[in-house]
A and B are shown apart, each in its own frame.
Chain A
Amino acid sequence: MRTARAVLVGIGVIGLGLLLAGVRVNPYMYFAGYVVLQYVIIASAWNILGGYAGYVNFGTPAFFALGAYTAIFLMEALGAPLPVMILAGGLVAGLLGLGIGYLTLRLKGVFFSIATFALSVVVQTLIINWDFVGGAKGYTVIRPPAPFFGSWGVLLFVVMVTLAVVTVLVARSVERSWIGRGLAALRDNEEAAECMGVPTLRLKLFATTLSGFFLGVAGAPFPYYVTYVEPASAFDLNYAVNALAMPMIGGTTTWVGPVIGAVLLGTAQQVATVTISSELNLLIVGVVLVLFVVLAPEGIVGLARRLRSR
């Protein structure tokens, strides 16, 4: 029953997005909205592994860029349409996720995190040396005319609204199901969970794959959005920091946390980029992240809960 209501709310949000697309506000709004929604997807996807299962992934850029570069590859090789690119980008990144899932067999905690960071650099080196998708020079996307709404800015905004709603709904249903409870158990104590009969490996593989899939999905429309992709921008460290900062600020144990964090931090960054400078807004992210980790480890959701219980 509650799931049905959540789906209805999701459909409502998509409807709102369509309405916004019809109203035609300042084009910059769609542009900025895309970025915030992209971060909603990234933060929610990251949280499936990092928040629910407690495996901190520093390799977000690898998954995001793999989504983007799969899209570029399909564009260059087949001229594939956007939905195919998004699905394929997600699948390829999900496959990488499955790979790091097997890494968790040997690597726990800190070592896992360092390995994912290493993975990100290895993937970046491979892409830099792969000329078919532009190599270090980058790749310029030539977009066909937008099939709907008359402009790619608006169309991509609607696409992002839909993807964000789907990601959040999936993250929510994972959290509420036995899978979410199993992941929470292995987050608290993996050995104890295993002893109690929780299929930890299968759950971890599920979490890494699903998390990777949606990180790839977030990256797949990126080439169409920026129209010029180079490894440095697709593998930007900002994605790694934001992917972890947003859930940490919102609260990692529920699906609401990453959404709150992404909307707050994402919007703040957009405002700061326009009004102050883009370098300074990164500094803000770093400072806010450190402050939250030190002072409010449970995030905004945890703060709210503490206030309510008083």
Chain B
Amino acid sequence: MFSWDLLANAIVAGILLGGFYAAVSLGVSLTFGLLDVVNIAHPAFVILGAYVAYVMNSSFGLDPILTGVLFTPLFYVVGAGVYRVYYASFERRGEESLRGLVFFFGLLFIIEVALSLKYGVDYRLVEAVYIGKSIDLGGVGIAFRLLVPCLVGLAMTLALYLFLSRTFYGRAVMGVSQDQMALRLMGANPIRIKTIAFGIGIAAASLSGALLITISPVVPSTDRDYIGRVFAITVLGGLGSIGGTLVASIILGVAESLMATLFGPSWSLAVSFGILLLALAVRPAGLFGR
């Protein structure tokens, strides 16, 4: 039996989910798309952010998204530190690509296992006033637990876009991605710029983790589902394109939501990876690639 209501609901939920996916993928767009650092550990930092939100929420009753915002400076410092280690061990020696990839894969694994050692493999969730409420727009329900993360995701996208196009440091990041040597000749230090950009990427990851735990409960191994999603979105959107990331996120959100509604949720994960494989095989430059 086919119902238009169901379809409309699935599409709206997909668009809202897309706004959240954009938040998760922004950091990868920045680090992988612009800096060429294959930060495959990005989803692990998302989950770390989600657990920080969980801990603050369950012990102090702090709002998860507020926690996410409050902790961004800490994650910025962590991210900057990770980049420094990565730079000293791989980039400076000129063997970044494959060994660097293994480094981040190991990092992902360490974070995941450490979280499951500390908090076990039970699903963790947060409580906030807007979770569980929804508004009804002519048969289409909009859940606040999806709407709020979507709005925050859109705000993050806009902020990153403005940062990259309007500020000095943002333009310097764009400069690093195009020509490091030229930037060096202009008197800027590319390593410092990259450290800043990587820190921002990890800070964005932690904030999107707070959004994640607002949407649904989280276990340490949730990061695996997001590896495919974030890279599918970054590749599909075109590496380093912030607008492309948003468009690709919404495409993926709607596709997954439709798949889950029509064929059952166990298939929805295959959508992102299918899109990723297809995008890589057919058009590696993505929709808005340079």
Chain A CB within 8 A of B267 CB: yes
Pick from B110, B114, B225, B280: contact of A106, CB under 8 Å: B280
The contact string, 1 if C-beta is below 8 Å from chain B, for chain A 108-119, is 011101110111
Chain A CB within 8 A of B134 CB: no
Q: Is there an interface contact between A290 and B284, defined as CB atoms closer than 8 Å?
A: no
Within 8 A of B (CB), among A116-136: 117-119, 121-122, 125-126, 128-129, 136
The contact string, 1 if C-beta is below 8 Å from chain A, for chain B 106-148, is 1101100110110000000000000000000000000000000
Q: Which residues of B contact A125 (CB under 8 A)?
A: 266-267, 269-270, 273
Within 8 A of A (CB), among B214-252: 221, 224-225, 227-228, 231-232, 235
The answer for the CA separation of A248 and B228 in the assembled complex, in Å, is 24
Q: Is there an interface contact between A107 and B280, defined as CB atoms closer than 8 Å?
A: yes
Pick from B89, B98, B225, B232: contact of A294, CB under 8 Å: B89
Q: Which residues of A contact B107 (CB under 8 A)?
A: 286, 290
**In the complex where A110-B38, A118-B276, A244-B102 touch, is A279 in contact with B109 (Cβ < 8 A)?**
no
Pick from A113, A115, A294, A297: contact of B276, CB under 8 Å: A115
The answer for the CA separation of A241 and B112 in the assembled complex, in Å, is 12
The contact string, 1 if C-beta is below 8 Å from chain B, for chain A 256-291, is 000000000000000000000001101101110110
Pick from B109, B117, B276: contact of A114, CB under 8 Å: B276
Chain A CB within 8 A of B164 CB: no
Pick from A54, A111, A126, A297: contact of B284, CB under 8 Å: A111
Chain A CB within 8 A of B95 CB: yes
The answer for the CA separation of A287 and B101 in the assembled complex, in Å, is 15
Q: Is there an interface contact between A293 and B284, defined as CB atoms closer than 8 Å?
A: no
How far is the CB of A238 from the nearest CB of chain B, in Å? 9
The answer for the CA separation of A111 and B113 in the assembled complex, in Å, is 25
Q: Chain A interface: which size bin?
A: 35 or more
The answer for the CA separation of A279 and B95 in the assembled complex, in Å, is 31
The answer for the CA separation of A121 and B270 in the assembled complex, in Å, is 7
Chain B CB within 8 A of A103 CB: yes
Chain B CB within 8 A of A163 CB: no
How far is the CB of A184 from the nearest CB of chain B, in Å? 15
Q: Which residues of B contact A245 (CB under 8 A)?
A: 106
Pick from B97, B105, B277, B284: contact of A241, CB under 8 Å: B105
Q: Which residues of B contact A121 (CB under 8 A)?
A: 224-225, 228, 269-270, 273
Chain B CB within 8 A of A141 CB: no
Pick from A114, A129, A282, A289: contact of B267, CB under 8 Å: A129
Chain B CB within 8 A of A207 CB: no
Q: Is there an interface contact between A294 and B113, defined as CB atoms closer than 8 Å?
A: no
The answer for the CA separation of A297 and B224 in the assembled complex, in Å, is 26
Chain A CB within 8 A of B274 CB: yes
Q: Is there an interface contact between B101 and A56, defined as CB atoms closer than 8 Å?
A: yes
Q: Is there an interface contact between B277 and A115, defined as CB atoms closer than 8 Å?
A: yes
Closest to A238 in B: B109
Chain B CB within 8 A of A170 CB: no
Q: Which residues of B contact A54 (CB under 8 A)?
A: 98
Interface size on B, residues (CB 8 A): 39
Chain A CB within 8 A of B281 CB: yes
**In the complex where A103-B281, A237-B109, A283-B113 touch, is A117 in contact with B98 (Cβ < 8 A)?**
no
Chain B CB within 8 A of A63 CB: no
Q: Is there an interface contact between B273 and A119, defined as CB atoms closer than 8 Å?
A: yes
Chain B CB within 8 A of A139 CB: no
Q: Which residues of B contact A107 (CB under 8 A)?
A: 280-281, 284
Pick from B109, B228, B232: contact of A286, CB under 8 Å: B109
Closest to A289 in B: B106
Q: Which residues of A contact B106 (CB under 8 A)?
A: 241, 245, 286-287, 289-290, 293
Within 8 A of B (CB), among A122-164: 122, 125-126, 128-129, 136
Q: Is there an interface contact between A290 and B110, defined as CB atoms closer than 8 Å?
A: yes
Closest to A282 in B: B113
Q: Is there an interface contact between B95 and A297, defined as CB atoms closer than 8 Å?
A: yes
The answer for the CA separation of A182 and B99 in the assembled complex, in Å, is 22
Closest to B228 in A: A118
**In the complex where A109-B98, A111-B284, A115-B276 touch, is A282 in contact with B109 (Cβ < 8 A)?**
yes
Chain B CB within 8 A of A58 CB: yes
The answer for the CA separation of A285 and B89 in the assembled complex, in Å, is 19
Q: Is there an interface contact between B273 and A118, defined as CB atoms closer than 8 Å?
A: yes
Chain A CB within 8 A of B103 CB: yes
Chain A CB within 8 A of B85 CB: yes
Closest to A113 in B: B101
Q: Is there an interface contact between B38 and A297, defined as CB atoms closer than 8 Å?
A: no
Q: Which residues of A contact B110 (CB under 8 A)?
A: 283, 286-287, 290
> Which residues of B approach A to under 8 Å, CB–CB?
38, 40, 85, 89, 95, 97-99, 101-103, 105-107, 109-110, 113-114, 116-117, 221, 224-225, 227-228, 231-232, 235, 266-267, 269-270, 273-274, 276-277, 280-281, 284
The 6 closest A-B pairs by CB, nearest first: A125-B270, A118-B273, A286-B110, A290-B106, A286-B109, A289-B106
Contacts A/B (CB < 8 Å), 19 sampled: A106-B280, A107-B280, A110-B101, A111-B235, A111-B280, A114-B235, A115-B281, A118-B232, A119-B277, A122-B270, A129-B266, A136-B266, A244-B102, A283-B113, A283-B114, A285-B109, A286-B109, A289-B106, A293-B89
